[in-house]
Amino acid sequence: MNISESESRVMEVLWREHPLTSSEVVERVAPGENWSPKTVRTLLTRLTEKGALAREPEGRTYRFRPLIEREDWLREKAGQLVNQHLDGRLAPLVAAFAEREGLSEADREEIRSLLEKLK
Amino acid sequence: MNISESESRVMEVLWREHPLTSSEVVERVAPGENWSPKTVRTLLTRLTEKGALAREPEGRTYRFRPLIEREDWLREKAGQLVNQHLDGRLAPLVAAFAEREGLSEADREEIRSLLEKLK
DNA sequence: CCACCAAGACTACACTCGTAGTCCATAATG
DNA sequence: CATTATGGACTACGAGTGTAGTCTTGGTGG
């Protein structure tokens, strides 16, 4: 159920747009990462075996589609980080990120209004 | 320079309290994880080789101390997550976490005042 | 003083990951 | 039709991980 770093690059593509054939995924992943098409296909296969993707035959090839939601996966990742290392408190994570990358006024406003909405 | 999941359990112990001998680390890690002392010692060795811990001989054993700061490591982790999967925007991470775990009023207030301070 | 235990050094071993390569069959192309 | 390019299936292979086990040796409890 765990999605590795490289695999997540492939997932990102399919979360943005799906279903896609393997060649389409290859095209879309290629610019960023400098991977051989073989590598991308291997990742697609592994993700399918893991149950993160579904594929259906289409002619000579397959068409892939995510089986897990990006939101769920993100929640999972965020939750793990915060729960395992921050005693479940989110603020230190915000602080840590801010210190490293900085936050624009727009960022701050976005978070502020988000907090309001959560009330 | 990368700290694995299991290794980070050991780091947590030493970030909380240091320097500690290997036996002390074993004691402190034990309750949570169900690891043999051997496992903990292996992790201590690997972390030392990686340069994440320093150790100095003490009698017939060693005393360990972190060489990397918890804060730095957290910043790193948080930054990776946000930059690789959220286009560098922190708000969606806050949202993701909140949806999963919920945020108390105290949590929200903590973050709000943090945002103020960052101005 | 001796048997035994514990700590470090070294070894193990299957699994995951990153990153392809080989082999084979079919589809496209000249 | 013969050739080549392509996609899937399977294979590869070293580094890193999780999780210990063995071997050796020095301190510890009778």
For B3 and D26, how far is CA from C1' in angstroms? 33
* Residue in A closest to B116 by C-alpha: A108
Q: Do A92 and B74 touch (CB under 8 A)?
A: yes
- Measured to protein CB atoms, the chain C nucleotides within 7 Å are 6-12, 16-22, 26-27
Nearest nucleotide to the CA of A4, by C1', is: C17
Terminal C-alpha separation, chain A: 33
* pLDDT < 50 positions in chain B: none
Cα–Cα dist A47/A44, whole Å:
5
Strand partners, A54: A65
C-alpha pair distances (Å), B90 with each of A69, B19, B84: 19, 35, 11
Mean pLDDT of chain A, nearest integer = 93
Pick from B76, B81, B118: CB nearest A77 = B81
Q: Which nucleotide has its C1' atom closest to residue A60's CA?
A: D7
Q: Cis omega before residue B66 (within 30°)? A: no
Question: Residue A61: what are its φ and ψ, rounded to 5°?
Answer: -130, -165
* Contact (CB<8Å) A96/B12: no
**d(CA B65, nearest CA chain A) in Å:** 18
- Cβ distance of A74 and B93 shorter than 8 Å: yes
The 10s digit of each residue's pLDDT in A27-80 is: 999 777 889 999 999 999 999 999 999 999 999 999 999 999 999 999 999 999
Question: CB count, 10 Å around CB of A32?
Answer: 10
Residue B24 Cα distances to A22, A67, B4, B5, B52, angstroms: 52, 44, 21, 20, 18
Chain D, protein-covered positions (CB within 7 A): 6-12, 16-22, 26-27
Model confidence, pTM: 0.89
Check CB contact of B85 with chain A, cutoff 8 Å: yes
pLDDT at residue A26 in the model: 96
CA angle A72, B88, B118 (to 5 degrees): 110
**Structural tokens at position B48:** 């030392």
Question: Which pLDDT value is given to residue A100?
Answer: 85
Whether domain B5-66 has CATH 1.10.10.10:
yes
| H-helix segments, B1-119 | 5-16, 22-29, 37-50, 70-85, 91-101, 105-118
Structure confidence at residue A90 as a pLDDT band (50, 70, 90): very high
Query: What is the phi/psi pair of residue A11, to 5°?
Result: -60, -40
Residue A48, phi-psi category: left (phi > 0), alpha (psi -120 to 50), beta (remainder): alpha
Q: What is the pLDDT of residue B118?
A: 86
